[in-house]
Amino acid sequence: STQWIKAIARDEVPEDDVIAVHAGGREIALYGVEGEVYATANLCTHGNARLCDGFLEGHEIECPLHQGRFDVRDGRALCSPLRENLATYPVRIEDGVVFVAL
């Protein structure tokens, strides 16, 4: 069953940028894009790199290691060398707190 885990205060999520948090024993990347918050796994599906160290442009996060790009809305791998999509997590905002469903 879905568990909503408290991740971070809403105002700590940077606009047009990414921040990593630990929630429910996992490492999650949170993105602020156009006033919305999106959550994905923080580890790239291609190798040992953290997306929180990458570069966010619009809805696309670029991995810092080989420049693979994912869409943060659905985790879709957008280019090589990526082969696997990224896990995404539903986000809910309540009383100024970001919750993710794990």
* For ligand FES, the closer CB: 10 or 66: 66
CA 76 to chain centre: 12
**Residues contacting residue 75 through CB under 8 Å, at least 6 positions apart:** 40, 41, 85, 86, 87, 88
* Nearest distance from C-beta of residue 47 to ligand FES, angstroms: 3
Which residues of this protein are in contact with ligand FES, per CB under 6 A? 44, 46-47, 49, 63, 65-66, 68, 81-82
Give CA–CA dist 71/10, Å, rounded. 21
| Residue whose structure tokens are 């991740």 | 7
* Nearest distance from C-beta of residue 68 to ligand FES, angstroms: 3
* Nearest distance from C-beta of residue 74 to ligand FES, angstroms: 17
* For ligand FES, the closer CB: 47 or 58: 47
